[in-house]
Amino acid sequence: MAKMTIGLSSGSIDKLTGAGVMMVGAAADDYEIEVYVLLTAARAFVKGNEGLTDSFVEYPEQKEEMLSKLKELNTPSWLEFFEQAKEFTDVKFYICSLAGKLWGGEKMEDFIDIVDGICGIGQYLDAAKEADIHISI
């Protein structure tokens, strides 16, 4: 089984959705996936924030149009993509302890249920070195 490691540092809806699409594709190819949630991405994983759509990186002036199109196409939310990937294959989500603290998350119960652990940056760097594919989003 090949291994994919993702450094997810953006919490914008477009980047989260793109990461979800990639994970589902990798899961369908039976990749083992580890996602390290860094910086602003940790905000989306704090309980109560998973539905926020206020952050949009690419073409922010077209945010409403893209959100409308995603809805029209009945596209799963980023979280639904993440959950689907986790159903298909071995996917682990780790919150960087510093990033979690930036958004008020210090304990596992502060984060949504798909989170598997809280770690330091060294764990992410070690995983990235060992991965067959490493992606930074």
Domains detected in the chain: 3-136 (3.40.1260.10)
Instruction: Kindly report the pTM of this predicted structure.
Output: 0.93
Other CB atoms within a 10 A radius of the CB of residue 102 amount to 15
CA-nearest of 29, 40, 52 to 99 is 40
Q: What is the mean pLDDT of residues 49-67?
A: 81
CA-nearest of 21, 48, 59, 29 to 104 is 48
> CA distances (Å), 99 to each of 23, 36, 62, 69, 94, in order?
21, 10, 28, 31, 11
pLDDT value for 66: 85
CA 24 to chain centre: 12
What distance in Å separates the CA atoms of residue 71 and residue 117, rounded to the nearest whole number? 31
Q: Which residue has the tokens 């996936």?
A: 33
* Percent of the chain scoring above 70 in pLDDT: 99
pLDDT value for 101: 97
User: Is 60's pLDDT higher than 80?
Assistant: no
User: Is 122's pLDDT higher than 90?
Assistant: yes
User: What pLDDT digit, counting tens, does each position of 97-115 carry?
Assistant: 999 999 999 999 999 999 9
For all residues of the chain together, what is the average pLDDT?
A: 94
> CA distances (Å), 59 to each of 62, 63, 70, 102, 124, in order?
5, 7, 15, 26, 29
pLDDT value for 44: 96
